[in-house]
Amino acid sequence: MKRTALLFFCLLFGLGLIALCGTIFPKYNTVQTDSLKKWTIHDLSRPMPPIVDPGPGKPPTPPPSDAIVLFDGTDLSLWTNSKGEPAGWKIESGYMEVNKTGSIRTVQGFGDCKLHVEWATPTLISGKSQERGNSGVFLMGKYEIQVLDCYNNTTYADGMTASLYGQFPPRVNASRRPGEWQTYDITFTRPRYDNSGNLTSPAVMTVYHNNILVHDHVELTGPTVHKKRPPYTQHPENLPLMLQDHGNPVRFRNIWIQDLKVETENQKKRALFVWGGWEGHEPKQCVDIFAPWLKEQGFEVEVSDTLDSYLDKENMTSLDLIVQAYTMAQITPAQERGLLAAVQNGVGIAGWHGGLADSFRNNTAYQFMVGGQWVAHPGGVIDYEVNIRDHDDPITAGLTDFQMHSEQYYLHTDPINEVLATTTFSDEHAPWIKGAVMPVVWKKMYGKGRVFYTSLGHVAKDFDVPQALEITKRGILWAAGSLEQKK
Ligand code: MG
């Protein structure tokens, strides 16, 4: 009897332990995990997979219409070196070639994606094992699919062509001869983390080498590193793709990527309207035009009448957009820091008239972000014309010049502004400014944040002018990164 109880206890304890391990340790595919237990990193006794002839090379695979073409054989404008300077690899006859100027990476970051890469190792065979045609495709700069010449070349199996470096050899060796073009088609799911930075699901790769499946939903144990299998550490959702300079003149051509991000499907974009300051600008009435409309566009909208909203760091970082209508007021250093940090880190900001460009006259750092500051409106409310300067930009496309009966703004503006519409001053109210062409609508970047401004909208009635309303709506969407998607 006693023995049965003990057995029962042991069984319960064992089951509990298994359940506990399941929650503490991420679950990997057991077959794969077992293979890592069996073989130490770069184990030379780990068998090389069987050779499969993939058939002859093919012409470049054309990118589908939803792909971002990262390299079409002509230029490296979407790539930089590791310092963010222009990429220095040699470009020749439709391909780029590693030339010992260092690894290169994309300007844009990617998370979940489908990637197509074509590459060729040098025709002239030199070196052996890891020294023959070595390069690599690093998803998020961290997870490498090895590029190597493994045609009649032996090396450690977890570092051979198409291996997930240091972890998993490919199912088969589908290598073509050196100098022949080969392809990788990679589906990548980035690792996920909970709010405390704990891993909730690992990075997963499916890889076709020369159209042959070599990895099927393989879960990585962490970043791929030489002689190490380090654990995951939390990193951003999007990171640049990297191609390795391992000192061998490997060639690449026809690289394109499909962004498989799903977050926008369920997650609404978030906008914060902040209004206040001088009543004469009707900040509340103007916000009442745009806040309900933005909600109709699918945004989650929060309206605030205090600059203290800029102090809520957590809320600020969760935003996609700030719309500010706050004139001739004071901002505390902490509020200003909160606002500028959010925009610098990628939150868009949009505004009109004095609500953005005559908000805080004492704050030059704020003005540096906006790209301009009001200084005068000669003659007060007058008739003037607005001229569209950029007919291709999505904010002003399809619009024609129009008349305003309002204040004509004289501003001190930033030369980096992308000016989309202007107005020209007459000599009627201030003779010395005759002929001055002044920006009325501009867009610019501040750090990673998009800044949109229009001087239109002195009072709510000004938005009865259809062009003024349309430009402001489009500018608000552009600042939130939503205009191109809508078009
Ligand atoms: Mg490599």
Tell me, in angstroms, the distance from the centre of ligand 1 to residue 27's CA. 27
Pick from 447, 456, 459, 454: which is nearest to 476 by CA? 454
Residue 264 has pLDDT above 90, yes or no: no
Confidence band for 4, pLDDT divided at 50, 70 and 90: low
- Dump pLDDT digits (tens) for 360-386: 999 999 999 999 999 999 999 999 999
Tell me, in angstroms, the distance from the centre of ligand 1 to residue 349's CA. 42
Tell me, in angstroms, the distance from the centre of ligand 1 to residue 150's CA. 12
| Domain spanning 270-485, CATH architecture | 3-Layer(aba) Sandwich (3.40)
Tell me, in angstroms, the distance from the centre of ligand 1 to residue 103's CA. 11
Distance CA 188, CA 261 (A): 11
Residue 218 has pLDDT above 60, yes or no: yes
- The reported pLDDT for the residue numbered 29 is 53
Residue 271 and residue 321 in contact, taking contact as beta carbons nearer than 8 Å: yes
Residue 296 has pLDDT above 80, yes or no: yes
- The reported pLDDT for the residue numbered 11 is 53
Residue 486 has pLDDT above 60, yes or no: no
- Ion ligand 1: residues, CB < 5 A: 134, 136, 244
- The reported pLDDT for the residue numbered 159 is 97
Tell me, in angstroms, the distance from the centre of ligand 1 to residue 394's CA. 42
Annotated domain spans of the chain: 29-259, 270-485
- Dump pLDDT digits (tens) for 422-479: 999 999 999 999 999 999 999 999 999 999 999 999 999 999 999 999 999 999 999 9
Mean pLDDT taken over the chain: 91
Tell me, in angstroms, the distance from the centre of ligand 1 to residue 74's CA. 24
Confidence band for 30, pLDDT divided at 50, 70 and 90: low
Tell me, in angstroms, the distance from the centre of ligand 1 to residue 146's CA. 5
Distance CA 460, CA 350 (A): 16
- The reported pLDDT for the residue numbered 24 is 40
Tell me, in angstroms, the distance from the centre of ligand 1 to residue 243's CA. 9
Tell me, in angstroms, the distance from the centre of ligand 1 to residue 313's CA. 40
- Dump pLDDT digits (tens) for 316-355: 988 999 999 999 999 999 999 999 999 999 999 999 999 9
Average pLDDT estimate for 173-198: 93
Average pLDDT estimate for 142-170: 97
- The reported pLDDT for the residue numbered 43 is 93
- The reported pLDDT for the residue numbered 193 is 86
Tell me, in angstroms, the distance from the centre of ligand 1 to residue 448's CA. 31
Tell me, in angstroms, the distance from the centre of ligand 1 to residue 39's CA. 20
Tell me, in angstroms, the distance from the centre of ligand 1 to residue 418's CA. 42
Question: How much of the chain exceeds pLDDT 90, in percent?
Answer: 83
Average pLDDT estimate for 223-229: 94
Confidence band for 78, pLDDT divided at 50, 70 and 90: very high
Domain 29-259's class? mainly beta
Position 147, amino acid: V
| SS3 track for the chain | CHHHHHHHHHHHHHHHHHHHHHHHCCCCCHHHHHHHHHCCCCCCCCCCCCECCCCCCCCCCCCCCCCEEEECCCCCCCEEECCCCECCCEEECCEEECCCCCCEEEEEEECCEEEEEEEECCCCCCCCHHHCCCEEEEECCCEEEEECCCCCCCCCHHHCCCCECCCECCCCECCCCCCCCEEEEEEEECCEECCCCCEEECCEEEEEECCEEEEEEEECCCCCECCECCCCCCCCCCEEEEECCCCCCCEEEEEEEEECCCHHHHCCCEEEEEEEECHHHCHHHHHHHHHHHHHHCCCEEEEECCHHHHHCHHHHHCCCEEEEEEECCCCCHHHHHHHHHHHHCCCEEEEEHHHHHCCCCCCHHHHHHHCEEEEECCCCEEEEEEEECCCCCCCCCCCCCEEEEEECCEEEECCCCEEEEEEECCCCCCHHHCCCEEEEEEEEEECCEEEEEECCCCCHHHHHCHHHHHHHHHHHHHHCCCHHHHC
- Dump pLDDT digits (tens) for 382-429: 999 999 999 999 999 999 999 999 999 999 999 999 999 999 999 999
- The reported pLDDT for the residue numbered 8 is 58
Average pLDDT estimate for 80-87: 91
- The reported pLDDT for the residue numbered 22 is 40
